[in-house]
Structure 1
Amino acid sequence: MIRIVIADDHPLIREGLRRILEFEDGIEVVAEVGDGQGAINVARSMNFDILLMDLNMPGVNGLEAGRVIRREHPNIGILVLTIDDSDEKVFQVLQLGVAGYLLKDVDSKTLIQSIRKVYSGEPILSPTVTGKLLEQISQPSPSKDTCGLSEREMEILHYVVKGASNREIGTSLFISEKTVKNHLSSIYRKLSVEDRTQAALKAVKLNFFKLD
């Protein structure tokens, strides 16, 4: 059973999300809160798997709450659901190491799929958000210091930045998913990051790839 907490300052949004989730087998909404401090309090007082959270809330906002919850409860998957798709906000949130970032115009099927992916440990690099920032990325820039990454690792990192899954990377490069995972472990170590989201962000920040 996937246990979910909804954090949004609009009661109608919370009610709508609850109704959508209640129809899904294996998903249970265990609490609802209206601000970031409420999300922090719930994280400190009960066990759950995923925090479905808005960013723009009164008092302690989602960004601040996410920072505290990630530090105190790293096993909770934070799935941001917001109307804010500004480049700056997306990068600020993804730097926290959240599990995913979706816009509120997402359809219910995609939302459910995203929740299940987050629960299984797969981060969500939303095509409508992260993809928007990175769609112009082309080829690796040979003039940049690549932190010791090999040519193959740079190829794989390029696909990660574009939001490709391990299976898609393996198919494109004609290698197994296991080989992709091994390369990713090496990439994380060389970049001093913990997951593919942080690796993608760092690659862009370090200008590993040219922007058209």
Structure 2
Amino acid sequence: MAFALEKSYLFGMGLAGGMAEAPILVVDDEEEVLQVIQEYLKESGYSVVIARDLSEALAKISSDELQTVISDLLLGADRLGGIEVLRESAKKSIPCILISGNANLEALKEAINLGASHFLDKPFELADLLTIIKKTKAKPQAIQDKSEQLIQSSGLTHRESEIFHLIAKGLSNRDIAEATGTSERTVKAHISSIFRKLEVSSRAELLSKLIV
């Protein structure tokens, strides 16, 4: 499968996340992914509840008090159940992180329009997930203000600014290329320029700059 993690890595991190006031809901129909994320977040100090299918996820969102939802986008019979999870989360103003995998462009665009907090492609580093969770806890306006400050202070071009926002949403190079009507090669060149201007070397570092 696309996602795998050694147990020694999982329990050897020793990361200290703050205790959550409300649990994080993790939704995935792949048992291994579900269990690894759940155990990792618990080891990092978070309270976690899980859902193995769409109906269970919607029930928990409706009835439980949650701080964040992490859901596979390709969920359920139509493989787009993550959109329903996102829609229900939005009704209660719960930040929703989508594990986008190999989702098509239309699904990604719909998720963006519905206000997905972030996209995470499989396979991914669990340490990056913690950074994203911290980002979702920040106020949206504060993140927007920080984004604009970074764009202005670093002198990003209009195209670089557009790509910067898509990177901040977690879209892959391929998805950014499709969304902007350019090639992956062009996107990579823009990202290289963005990283240089922002003095970062990875997407994780870029996201860290947005946590205020």
TM-score (norm 1): 0.56
Within the candidate set 97, 109, 115, 1:91 is matched to: 109
- For the 8 Å contact 1:9–1:57, the answer to whether it is kept is yes
2:96 paired with 1:114: no
Structure 2: distance between partners of 1:108 and 1:69: 22
1:134-173 equivalent positions in 2, closer than 5 A: 165-172=147-154
Runs of 4+ in structure 1 displaced over 4 angstroms?
none
Alignment deviations for residues 180-207 of structure 1 (CA, whole Å, 9 cap, x no partner): xxxxxxxxxxxxxxxx88xx9xxxxxxx
Q: Contact 1:99/1:122 (CA < 8 Å) preserved in 2? A: no
Q: Which SS does the other structure have where 2:47 is aligned?
A: strand
From 24, 30, 36, give the equivalent of 1:16: 36
Query: Is the helix fraction higher in 1 or 2?
Result: 2
Distance 1:39 1:17 in 2: 16
Q: Is 2:73–2:103's contact at 8 Å kept on the other side of the alignment?
A: no
For residues 6-52 of structure 1, give each alpha carbon's deviation from its aligned partner in whole angstroms, at most 9, with x where no partner exists: 01111111101012212213x221x1101222111101111011000
Q: Residue 121 and residue 37 in structure 1: after superposition, are their counterparts in 2 closer, same or farther (change >3 A)?
A: farther
TM-score (normalizing by structure 2): 0.56
- What's the % identity of the aligned pairs? 19
What is the rounded CA distance, in whole Å, between the counterparts of 1:80 and 1:98 in structure 2? 7
> Does structure 1 conserve the Cα–Cα contact (< 8 Å) formed by 2:24 and 2:67?
yes
CA change 1:173–1:83 in 2 (3 A) is closer
Point out where structure 1 has 5 or more consecutive residues left out of the alignment: 124-159, 175-195, 201-209
Q: Where do 1:1-212 residues align within 5 Å?
A: 1-2=19-20, 3-25=23-45, 27-29=46-48, 31-59=49-77, 61-70=81-90, 72-73=91-92, 75-122=93-140, 165-172=147-154
Amino acid at match of 2:39: R
More strand by proportion, 1 or 2? Answer: 1
Instruction: Tell me, yes or no, if the aligned pair for 2:69 and 2:94 is still in contact at 8 Å.
Output: yes
What amino acid maps onto 1:166 in structure 2? E
Question: What do the CA deviations read for 1:131-164 (whole angstroms, capped 9, x no partner)?
Answer: xxxxxxxxxxxxxxxxxxxxxxxxxxxxx8xxx8
TM-superposed CA distance for 1:64, in Å, is 2.1
Contact kept in structure 1, 2:89 and 2:95, CA below 8 Å: no
Name structure 2 gaps, 5 residues minimum.
1-18, 157-164, 170-179, 183-212
Aligned length: 138
